[in-house]
Amino acid sequence: MLDISNKKIQILGTFLIVILLSKLLLDNIFYFINLSSIFEITLDAFILLSEFILLYYIIKKSNLDIKIYKKYFKKDTTSEDSLNSKFILHIKILKYLLLIVYIIMIFTPEYYNRIYIENNFYAKIITSILAPIFLAPIFYLVYILLNRSKSNSNTQLKFYVLTIFILFFHLVKIIDYSIITFPGYIIGLILLITNIAVFFISIFVINNNHWIAYQSKKIKYSLILNSLLIIFFLLNISFSTDTLINDYSSSISFTYDYYFYGLSSTVNLISLAGIVIFFRLIVTSIIYLPSSDAFERRQNEMISLASLNKIIAESKDINHITNTVTEIALKMTSSIFAWAEIYENDEIVLSSYHNTSEKYIRQILNDENFNKYRMDCNTLVIDDKVDRSIIASNMNYLKSMIYIPINDDNSKIGAICLVNNKKYNLDEDEYEILKAFSINVSIAFENVRLLKESIENEKYKNELLIAKNIQQNLLPKKVIQFEGYNVDAISIPADDVGGDYYDSVLLENGDKCYLIGDVSGKGIGAAIFMAQIKGMVMSLAPTSTSGKELLCKINSSLYGNIDKNMFVTISTITISNKRNLISYCRAGHTPLAIKKINEKIEFLKPKGFGIGFVNENMFNNNLEEIEVDLDTMDMIFAYSDGLNELRNIDNNEFGYENIRFILDTFKFGSALEINELFLEKAKSYSETLNQFDDLTLLTIFKNRENNE
């Protein structure tokens, strides 16, 4: 059963049902009494507008459409965490609503024209029942377009202009019917202008479709198929509705017009707009299809790097590291099999292997030519055309190979070998990412050695202490506070891992920008890198007009000028002085949690690479900034991965669901209260385990008293 326990939603739902029943009753009362057309139209317009507003708020506040869809389509794993994922779900739901109406339309008799309906009371009742059913997908189409347009002020303006043109023609028809009769050529001319305007405005209503490029090939094909079906159903509605009704127009046209005069032409124009919008969606999806494999591979590489950094932070066992790292490298490069080897006392120890057997690898390693070729490689090698003379006798299928050496203190202590039966064809950036992976693998092994040595090495402990002191001194004592908002930030360092960062600055235009980030690495190196980031933020903020611009400038300054094993993930939250909006930008950092009054907690995950990962073009083109309109008592909650990746005694992560539960369940009086509660819950969750990562929290409330 669906759980809709919100009292406000229940009241609105009841009111909607009452309005639908009232409209049914009124339509058939008008059959017996003769009221003025102006009164009927005014009353119908009020009822129709009330229906849409109620339906909009019920769906918006309760996600009823998605809940029903998920109930009956349990195998659909489409996420609803982001605006784009919700849009994909809305498209699927619209398809099924249109399918239902299409089936009903097929069985609707064509003799239900105006003459028949006006002279048959039972036909009036049936028409009154069919009309809201036929209207449901049209309402829903308007809902998802309106909801989608709100993500961008420019798009929203275009949507409103489109709406004005459609409603203007509807108004002309009402005036022609009830007040002044226009000549036919005037109505035809206005209709032509309206159709042209609707067509061209619809092309640009939802023009920010770059998010499609970042979807998997499966999702793109799904978008194309669903959009084609929606266009087919909308074409059917368009052909079945007339903009200029006569006594013998189709039954569908009269169903709409009987419900509200002129509605047939409005539905026709909305259908035209929907056809154009979804056709553009198809074109965009087709254009981005060829890049699907490359993007999925790049996304897989970034996920792999993130997983590797997590291993570097957590693992203290070489066998665990080699097994996990080999598996990551195998998936990252789509190789057919892989193994990791460690050199101990002039012997090769197979630390891990995947998609093959130890016996088979030993046969390969015993081949003299291949063994010499492999052992001569002291740096990362990506060989897409392996010389046939060095291929082992049982590796005739070998087309390419990646050899990742594992170094410790400038000497090779092992390697990861990846084998493929096709070329890798990696571009320059992918090579750099794999090179960073290679360096980080060595860092992981080096960290294990350092951690073991630290037990007996007091100097190493002192270095960590110095690093933590530097990092803590770089964090601001107090974040910027201002009227209308309540802000609090807190950072708790881990025992032996450094790197969390938060700050607050004023931008060139006076906007307040809050930053939260995670610097890679540990020790003095991480502390120095954090100081470098801090200095860049302070120097570049006064010349930047947005959080996105600030991040782009920082990446441009750092990329190519730092070691590949150093990078930082940062999120910026910018509060505008002139507009009642908050802008959010995420350069590889954890998602932002947003809590709006009486709404479900939403995690915002705009696209973006970590700073220092990729070059300026790729970073700038893939960095997405989204805007959020905060109402009174709304809040946003930013955090480092030290919270969601915190583990308990059973090795289970704290995760996003615990964050969602706490924000949904508890009531807070200030930003400080929520930060303190999360620290308490995190400590309780980890129990006796040591904190393995820094924990940083940043909370912003709308319209709360400042913490002075």
Helix pair angle (292-314, 217-240), 10° resolution: 130
Give per-residue pLDDT as tens, 222-280: 999 999 999 999 998 888 887 666 656 667 777 787 777 888 888 989 999 999 999 99
Q: How far apart (Å, rounded) are the C-alpha atoms in residues 345 and 349?
A: 10
pLDDT score at 92: 93
pLDDT score at 351: 80
- Rounded to 5 degrees, φ, ψ at 343 are -95, 120
pLDDT score at 515: 94
pLDDT band at 310 (very low <50, low <70, confident <90, very high): low
Mean pLDDT of the chain: 80
Give per-residue pLDDT as tens, 46-68: 888 888 888 888 888 888 888 88
Report percent pLDDT > 90 for the chain.
Answer: 18
Give per-residue pLDDT as tens, 581-632: 889 999 989 999 999 887 888 999 999 998 888 888 889 999 999 998 888 7
pLDDT band at 314 (very low <50, low <70, confident <90, very high): low
The top-scoring range by mean pLDDT among 90-104, 577-591, 623-637 is: 90-104
pLDDT score at 231: 94
Decide: 65 and 94 in contact? Cβ < 8 Å: no
Decide: 203 and 276 in contact? Cβ < 8 Å: yes
Amino acid at 551: L
pLDDT score at 111: 59
**375 vs 674, higher pLDDT:** 674
Q: How far apart (Å, rounded) are the C-alpha atoms in residues 173 and 637?
A: 50
Decide: 139 and 53 in contact? Cβ < 8 Å: no
pLDDT greater than 60 at residue 312: no
Decide: 341 and 349 in contact? Cβ < 8 Å: yes
pLDDT band at 692 (very low <50, low <70, confident <90, very high): low
Whole-prediction pTM value?
Answer: 0.50
Give per-residue pLDDT as tens, 150-177: 767 777 888 888 889 888 888 888 887 7
List the single range of 298-307, 376-385, 591-600 with lowest mean pLDDT. Answer: 298-307
User: b/e string for 156-187 if b means 16 or more Cβ within 10 A?
Assistant: eebbeebbebbeebbebbbebbbeeeeeeeeb
pLDDT score at 297: 57
Which domains does the chain carry? 68-291 (no CATH), 315-454 (3.30.450.40), 465-702 (3.60.40.10)
The top-scoring range by mean pLDDT among 384-393, 492-501, 615-624 is: 615-624
pLDDT score at 586: 93
pLDDT score at 33: 46
Mean pLDDT of 39-44: 77
pLDDT score at 605: 92
Q: How far apart (Å, rounded) are the C-alpha atoms in residues 103 and 233?
A: 10
pLDDT greater than 70 at residue 305: no
pLDDT score at 299: 57
**179 vs 102, higher pLDDT:** 102
Q: How far apart (Å, rounded) are the C-alpha atoms in residues 84 and 221?
A: 15
Mean pLDDT of 484-488: 88
- Rounded to 5 degrees, φ, ψ at 396 are -65, -20
pLDDT greater than 50 at residue 392: yes
**389 vs 306, higher pLDDT:** 389
Q: How far apart (Å, rounded) are the C-alpha atoms in residues 498 and 29?
A: 75
212 to 81, 299, 695: CA distances (angstroms): 16, 14, 34
pLDDT band at 35 (very low <50, low <70, confident <90, very high): very low
pLDDT score at 571: 94
pLDDT band at 707 (very low <50, low <70, confident <90, very high): very low
Mean pLDDT of 358-382: 81
Mean pLDDT of 369-395: 78
pLDDT score at 110: 65
Give per-residue pLDDT as tens, 1-17: 455 566 777 787 788 78
Reduced to 3 states (helix: H, G, I; strand: E, B; else coil), residue 592 is strand
pLDDT greater than 70 at residue 298: no
List the single range of 79-88, 422-431, 525-534, 637-646 with lowest mean pLDDT. Answer: 422-431
Mean pLDDT of 109-136: 72
Helices (H) and strands (E) counted in the chain, each on its own, are: 23, 15
Give per-residue pLDDT as tens, 129-153: 888 888 899 999 999 888 888 767 7
Mean pLDDT of 412-423: 84
pLDDT score at 521: 67
**31 vs 136, higher pLDDT:** 136
